[in-house]
Amino acid sequence: MEPLRLLHLDPWLVAIAKPAGLAVHRSDQVHDHAPALQRLRNQLGRWVYPVHRLDRGTSGVLLFALDSETAGAVGARLGHGEVTKRYLAVVRGWAPEHTELDYDLREHPGAPVQAARTTVRRLATVALPIPVGRYPEARYSLVDLRPHTGRLHQLRKHMAHLRHPIVGDVRHGEGRHNRLFREHLGIHRLLLHASTLSLPHPVTGEQLELRAPLEPELQRLFRSLGWDDPTAESSQVASYRAKVSR
């Protein structure tokens, strides 16, 4: 088993680039033999404390503390809105250029409603010459998502509410488009990537900006769609009409 890629390590914090498909920790629904928490503990030879979560299908920046006091301090910053998270997602259709979603969510049926807010910014579009339903071509957008709250599956639910579900989302997405990406592009994952996590360091006060590069599978996909890598320093993503064989 390959070591997890470390994005940051100091005496108080460690950040990794979590691969898609890797659970953060075991739960009633997750019974992985080696989730990220256990793998990182084994890799570092010490205890680590998760301070936030990513869905199993999401790749990108995942932060841990190396002691309980630091974990509590990061949790307080999260609670006070001092942590900025940015995600990249591929969604169905041509999303709005910019919009603010303020749409309350429930974690599960019967749970209390919780305020949830997300900023959506469109980075690029693509049209694939593949019919879907009654449409002669399939349209998709690359979007930058910034959640201002941390509700369960917030981005997936918000984009589904906007009628631009994230490709590869089997719970809140649309099966026809998920199938198109599997059959024509060889993509079998949720197209959601936690690209950046920014926060004041809980001990030193230094502003940390943690970035996770795209996994090779996403790099290949973006190249095939004519998009630059948005995680690269000089990226200039743009609209493109892709030539994809049927």
Q: CB neighbours (10 Å) of residue 191?
A: 25
If 0-12 CB within 10 Å is exposed, 13-18 middle and 19+ buried, where does residue 177 land? buried
Q: Distance between CA atoms of 158 and 162, rounded to whole angstroms?
A: 6
Phi and psi at residue 49, in whole multiples of 5°?
-125, 115
Q: Distance between CA atoms of 157 and 171, rounded to whole angstroms?
A: 9
231 DSSP 8-state letter: T
Residues labelled catalytic:
55
CA atoms within 13 A on the CB side of 172: 19
**β-bridge pairing 59-65 and 192-200:** parallel
**What is the widest separation between alpha-carbon atoms in the chain?**
57
Do 46 and 6 touch, CB atoms closer than 8 A? no
**β-bridge pairing 240-241 and 117-128:** parallel
Residue that the structure tokens 């006070």 belong to = 80
Q: Distance between CA atoms of 102 and 118, rounded to whole angstroms?
A: 7
